[in-house]
């Protein structure tokens, strides 16, 4: 497989392109300037469309006035200036230009250009520097090289056409537009999410919830046992009664069995007088 020569094999007339799109001598349609058609490649440059937050939810393009600024370490999606139509027996590979990276630090993501593609390509640009970089409309971004396919077959056209907005569409309106244009997708997604949520809820009620209750009861019992162990032991009622009665009985017995000191001193004085 060899790279096809591009110079001399392009046309800017759609009628000529469609007549030869299945021929071995098919032509590539483009409205590119002659300076962008090189011998083995078609050069594409910055067009008028861009979007900093390009995604399925925000695929609108906003109009560039003269130049676009790419933030430090940021990325944007831009639309090229040149329209392209690829015949059924050609396959293109888009490669970034070295000059854009070497001079400005802008890296262009590689891409493929399939047979039957029609429209303007969208490219992702990455700013690899710590400074903002400005790119002018018409500045070269990448090169497309083409190969022959082993099989020529008709297929549905891959079209890319966008309308440019003068100012950004609010994010909520962009999401509403996406929902309106992808009803089947979000309805099926909502049904699947609801079914998954119900399954999780039933599992929690039937399995997880009883286990949680048992664990909570065991934790409560363990806390009660721990609190009881921390409190000092309280004597029983019978022990309190015994402790209260024992000193009184001891005092009464001692008073009956042993004379007091006063009695002893009186007895000693009486014996001395008799003598």
| CATH value at residue 87 | 2.70.40.10
As a whole number of angstroms, the distance between CA 126 and CA 141 comes to 12
| Residue 70: both structure tokens together | 């790419």
Q: Which domain holds residue 55?
A: 10-168
- Residues of the chain with pLDDT below 50 are 248-257, 262, 273-275
Is 196 found in the same domain as 143?
Answer: no
| Residue 85 counted as domain residue | yes
Q: What's the chain's length in residues?
A: 275
Is 82 found in the same domain as 160?
Answer: yes
**pLDDT for position 111:** 94
**pLDDT for position 88:** 93
**pLDDT for position 232:** 65
Is 188 found in the same domain as 116?
Answer: no
Each residue of 191-242: pLDDT tens digit? Answer: 888 888 888 877 767 766 556 556 667 677 777 777 777 766 555 555 556 5
Contact predicate 78/62, CB 8 Å: no
**pLDDT for position 253:** 46
Contact predicate 105/11, CB 8 Å: no
| Residue 247 counted as domain residue | no
State how many domains the chain has.
2
Is 186 found in the same domain as 130?
Answer: no
Is 208 found in the same domain as 98?
Answer: no
């Amino acid at each position: 497989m060899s790279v096809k020569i591009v110079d001399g094999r392009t046309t800017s007339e759609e009628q000529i392109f469609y007549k030869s799109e299945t021929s071995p001598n098919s032509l590539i349609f483009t409205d590119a300037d002659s300076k962008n058609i090189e011998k083995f490649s078609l050069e594409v440059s910055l067009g008028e469309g861009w979007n900093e937050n390009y995604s399925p939810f925000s695929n609108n393009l906003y109009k560039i006035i003269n130049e676009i600024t790419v933030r430090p370490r940021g990325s944007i999606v831009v639309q090229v200036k040149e329209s392209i139509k690829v015949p059924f027996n050609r396959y293109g590979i888009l490669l970034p230009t070295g000059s854009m990276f070497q001079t400005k630090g802008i890296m262009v993501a590689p891409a493929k250009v399939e047979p039957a593609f029609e429209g303007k390509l969208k490219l992702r640009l990455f700013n690899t520097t710590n400074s903002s970089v400005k790119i002018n409309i018409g500045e070269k971004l990448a090169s497309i090289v083409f190969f022959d396919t082993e099989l020529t077959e008709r297929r549905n056209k891959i079209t890319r056409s966008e309308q440019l907005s003068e100012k950004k569409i609010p994010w909520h309106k962009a999401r509403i537009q996406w929902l309106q244009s992808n009803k089947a997708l979000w309805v099926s997604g909502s049904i699947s999410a609801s079914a998954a949520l119900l399954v999780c809820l039933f599992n929690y009620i039937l399995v997880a919830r009883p286990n949680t209750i048992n664990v909570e009861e065991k934790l409560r019992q363990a806390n009660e046992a721990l609190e009881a162990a921390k409190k000092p032991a309280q004597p029983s009622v019978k022990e309190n009664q015994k402790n209260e009665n024992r000193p009184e009985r001891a005092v009464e017995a001692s008073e009956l069995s042993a004379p007091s000191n006063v009695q002893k001193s009186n007895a000693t004085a009486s014996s001395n007088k008799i003598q």
